């Protein structure tokens, strides 16, 4: 197996964050609304979408499927 780049600054990770944000916006869901749906502060959504905080796989499923 190859080496996995786990950095939040990797291009693939940035593309994932861009995709998440675009999908949220395409559904006309604000960061505040998404935060309310997943019982987290909207600042968490902001930090994740801006790459200030890493999104783990569990959070990804909560974030995307809510």
pLDDT (tens digit per residue) in 20-39:
999 999 999 999 999 999 89
Cα(24)–Cα(30) distance, integer angstroms = 7
CA Rg value for the chain? 12
Please give the model's pTM, rounded to 2 decimal places.
0.76
pLDDT of residue 65: 75
What does the mean pLDDT of the chain come to?
Answer: 86
């Amino acid at each position: 197996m190859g080496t996995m780049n786990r950095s939040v600054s990797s291009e693939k990770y940035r593309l994932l964050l861009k995709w998440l944000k675009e999908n949220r916006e395409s559904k006309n869901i604000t960061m505040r609304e998404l935060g309310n749906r997943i019982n987290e502060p909207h600042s968490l959504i902001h930090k994740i979408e801006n790459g200030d905080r890493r999104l783990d796989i569990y959070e990804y499923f909560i974030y995307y499927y809510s």
